[in-house]
Amino acid sequence: MSTRDEIFNRVAAQIEPFNKKKAALGDATSFAKDLEWDSLTVMDFVAAIEDEFDIIITMNMQAEIETVGQLVDAVAKLQG
């Protein structure tokens, strides 16, 4: 399994408890449109991702991340 696949799986595991709609997850899955998360859910989820990967995703970065794929790429980059 590639590093990106591994990150994807770990991100997906973090999405699970917040995925009330049981939406299918892929790179193109949108947090706002497909998962229908509000700002409060996003905040809790970002905190969970930050703790899972021991990184910081600033609010400035969050504004640029709309899909699961973009988040996986951002995590990969932040982990260096």
Partner 1 sequence: MTDLLSKFDPLIAEREALLDTGVRDPFGIVMDQVLSPTEAIIKGKKTILLGTYNYMGMTFDPDVVAAGKRALDEFGSGTTGSRVLNGTYQGHRECEEALKEFYGMDHAIVFSTGYQANLGMISTLAGKGEYIILDADSHASIYDGCWLGNAEIVRFRHNSVEDLDKRLGRLPAEPGKLVVLEGVYSMFGDIAPLPEMVAVAKKHGAMILCDEAHGMGFFGPNGRGVYEELGCENDIDFVVGTFSKSVGTVGGFCVSNHPKFEVLRLVCRPYVFTASLPPSVVATAAASIRKLMYAGEKRAHLWKNSRRLHQGLRDLGFTLGTETAQSAIIALMLPDMETTVRMWQALLELGLYVNMARPPATPAGTFLLRCSLCAEHSDDQVGEILGMFEQAGRAVGCIGR
Which residues are at the interface with partner 1 (CB under 8 A)?
38-40, 43, 46-47, 50-51, 54-56, 58-60
Nearer to partner 1, 28 or 47 (CB): 47
Residue with smaller CB distance to partner 1, 2 or 39: 39
Taking the complex as a whole, the smallest distance from the CB of residue 60 to partner 1 amounts, in Å, to 6
Query: Residue 34 — φ and ψ, nearest 5°?
Result: -85, -45
Instruction: List helix spans (H) across the chain.
Output: 3-15, 39-53, 59-62, 68-79
Q: Please, are residues 49 and 16 in contact by the beta-carbon 8 Å criterion?
A: no
> Which tokens sit at 18?
């917040």
**Distance of closest approach, residue 56 Cβ to partner 1, in angstroms:** 5
Q: Which is nearer to partner 1, 1 or 40 (CB)?
A: 40
Q: What is the CB-side half-sphere exposure of residue 80 using CA atoms within 13 A? A: 3
Min dist CB 50 to partner 1, Å, is: 7
